[in-house]
Amino acid sequence: MQHFFSKLQHHDLANFQNLASELEMQGKSCVQPDNAHNKEQIDNCLSEFDKRFQDFALLKPIATFMCYPFQEDAEVISLASKIATLFHLNSSGVEDEILTLQTDIQLKSRAHAQFWNLLTEEKYPNIRKCATSLTALFGSTYLCESAFSNMKIIKSKYRPTMTDDHLEVCLRLAISRYCPDYASLADSIQSKSSE
């Protein structure tokens, strides 16, 4: 956001096409935006971002560890404490698992995209729980965003009388990969004989 404010101060409206067109409509020169008002708006956005995304500051070192579990400069005690706090685990158990993981030469040689699936539940229960929860967090976010996007398309201004039940059915069809087996459905329906 500071980058965008800097662009506004230098009268670069390339990222602010709506502002440029509004200034043009008002007959103001594009080099005369109201910097005090813009700074206030950007400061408001920054404070909202800080409020809404404050948990991401806690997630950042954990996500970094999940991406690069063998990095040498990881502060194990601090990381274990953050993981234990966030996922309600025993801090010393998490710390032991991190140290065991980082010294496992066999796992180091097999690090790849499916790395976390290689860890056994018996040997690394806490770290696996953390990895699973973190992965599910982003997957469920995608599902929510996908559902809202589909809902916006389905429930447009041209369909104002749609019921919640009908919307639910339409959403289910839009976001699922269900493909009916028409042959078995047709076979299950008994044909009526004419008398």
pLDDT single digits (tens) 17-39: 887 888 788 877 655 556 677 77
- The tens digit of pLDDT for each residue in 97-155 reads 999 998 888 888 877 767 888 888 899 999 999 888 887 777 667 778 888 888 888 88
User: Measuring CA to CA, how many Å separate 157 from each of 96, 153, 154?
Assistant: 57, 10, 9
What pLDDT is stored for residue 183 in this prediction? 85
Domain positions in the chain are 2-52, 55-132, 139-178
- The tens digit of pLDDT for each residue in 61-95 reads 998 888 888 887 778 999 999 999 988 999 999 99
| C-alpha to C-alpha distance for 103 and 175, rounded to whole angstroms | 43
Is the Cβ–Cβ distance between 118 and 110 less than 8 Å? yes
| C-alpha to C-alpha distance for 103 and 10, rounded to whole angstroms | 52
For the chain, what is the mean pLDDT?
81
φ and ψ at residue 76, rounded to 5 degrees: -60, -45
Show the tokens assigned to 183.
Answer: 């042959």
pTM of the model: 0.53
The angle, 0 to 180 degrees and rounded to 10, between the axes of the packed helices 35-52 and 2-9 is: 170
Residue 65, burial from CB neighbour count under 10 angstroms (0-12, 13-18, 19+): buried
Pinpoint the alpha helices (H) of 26-180.
Answer: 35-52, 54-67, 76-87, 91-102, 105-109, 115-118, 125-154, 164-175
Alpha carbon 17 to chain centroid, angstroms? 27
What pLDDT is stored for residue 139 in this prediction? 67
What pLDDT is stored for residue 46 in this prediction? 82
